[in-house]
Amino acid sequence: MLSTTKNLTVKDGSFMSVGNVHSVASERQLSPELELLGNHVISSALYDSVERHDPPKCHPHTREVVLKRIREWVDDPANLGRMMWITGAPGVGKSAIAETIAEGYLRAGQLAACCFFSRASSAGRAPGSQKTFLATLAYQLFQAIPEMQDGLLKALKDNPRIFNAIFIHQAKALIVEPLNNAAVRAAARSRPRVVIIDAMDECPEPQGQEHIFETISIRLGFPLVFLVTSRLTDNIQNLTTRLDLDAYNSDSDIEVFLQSKFQEIRQNHPGGYALPTPWPSKEQVDVLVKRACGQFRYATAVIEFVGSLQHPPSYRLEIVLSPLVGAEITSSPLEGLQLQISAANKKHSKSSWFSLSNITK
C-alpha cells in the first residue's frame, strides 16, 4: 500500500509531494499509476485551487435555516450513500452554500472531495468530461480515504488505458470498486464523508451530466453522502432528496447582508465620514431587498457598485435606487441593474464611468 501519499497535491496535471518527510521526494519517483491519474486531474475544480481564490460564501447569520437543513440531512445515518440535489434560480446563492458547507466539513474532517464546475477551466479542458471529472474525484478520494488507495492504484496498473474506456467503466474501476473494497476496512467509521459537486449545470455536455449522476446514484458500501448543486434540469432523475432554494424566503437574509455591507462602506470608504445617519435608510434597504427577488448575486453587485472607492457612495446609491423604467422593469434583477448603470453612463456621456466588474458573469 502507498501509505505516505496523503499529502500529495496536483500542479498543472502532475502530482507533487508535500508536507510529509516520508513522502516521495520528486514527481519522477512517483509511480506511473499516480502520474497517469495526475495527468487527468483538473486543478481548477478543486476546493483549494488558486483559480478559485476568494470564492463566494454565505455571509454570517444568513442562510441559517438552509445550512441547518443540509447538515441535518448529511448527519442522518439513514442517508448514507444517498444524494441531496440543491436547486435554485441563477444568482440565488447555490455556490456560496456549497462553499460554506464544504468549509464546515473540511474543519470537521469529513470532507472527502469537492468538484466546482466552471465552463472556463484549466487549459480549456472541461471538468465534466469522462477524462477529467472522474480523475479529479478519484484523486481527492485517494487523498481523503487511505483504505481505497490500494484498489485505485491496482485499477490504474491493471488498465493504463482506463481513461479511454466508456464513462461507466471508468466510474466502476476508479470510484465504485475501490470504495466498496475500502468499505470493509473502514467499517469502524461512524461519521459520513461528504462529496460536494457544485454547479453541475456548468458541465458542458448534457450527456456528461447524466453520466455523472448515474455514477453517484450507485449505492456504495463506503459511508459517503453526495451534495450536488445546479439549476433545475430534466437530465437528473431518481434522486433521494431535493432541496429547492427558491422555496425559501431569503429576504431577511439579504437584508442582513446589505445592512452589514453598507456599514462596512461607511467605515472603510474615504467618504464614509460624510454619509448621513442612518445610511441608507430602512426604506431604501427595503427597496433593494424587494428588487433582489431572492437573488444574492444582485445584492452583491449593488454593494460592489456602491462601494467603489473612486466614487461617492451616496451618489451611486441614488443610481441604484432610481425608478425602474422600460426594460429595467421586465428584466431580471441583475440585468435591470446593468440597464440602470448604462442609463447613468449615457446621461454623463461616459461609456464606462460606471460599471460592474465580473460579479455579473
Q: Where are the domains of the chain?
A: 32-119+126-247, 250-349
Which phi and psi (to 5°) does residue 300 adopt? -65, -40
Determine the pLDDT at residue 50.
65
Determine the pLDDT at residue 237.
55
Determine the pLDDT at residue 280.
97
- Region of 187 (left: φ > 0; alpha: ψ -120 to 50; beta: rest) is alpha
CATH number of 32-119+126-247: 3.40.50.300
Per-residue pLDDT of the chain (361 residues; tens, 9 = 90+): 333 344 444 444 433 333 222 233 334 357 899 999 988 888 777 777 667 677 889 999 999 999 999 999 999 988 877 889 999 998 999 999 999 999 999 999 999 999 888 765 444 344 445 558 899 999 999 999 999 999 999 999 999 999 999 989 999 999 999 999 888 776 656 688 999 999 888 877 767 778 888 888 888 888 899 999 988 776 565 556 889 999 999 999 999 999 999 999 999 999 999 999 999 999 999 999 999 999 999 999 999 999 999 999 999 999 999 998 887 788 899 999 999 988 888 776 554 445 555 444 3
Closest by CA position to 175, among listed 155, 160, 157, 205: 155
Length in residues, the chain: 361
174 contacts: CB under 8 Å, gap ≥ 6: 134, 135, 138, 152, 155, 156, 162
Determine the pLDDT at residue 82.
85
Distance (Å, whole) CA 174 – CA 165: 11
Distance (Å, whole) CA 318 – CA 338: 14
125 contacts: CB under 8 Å, gap ≥ 6: 42, 131, 132
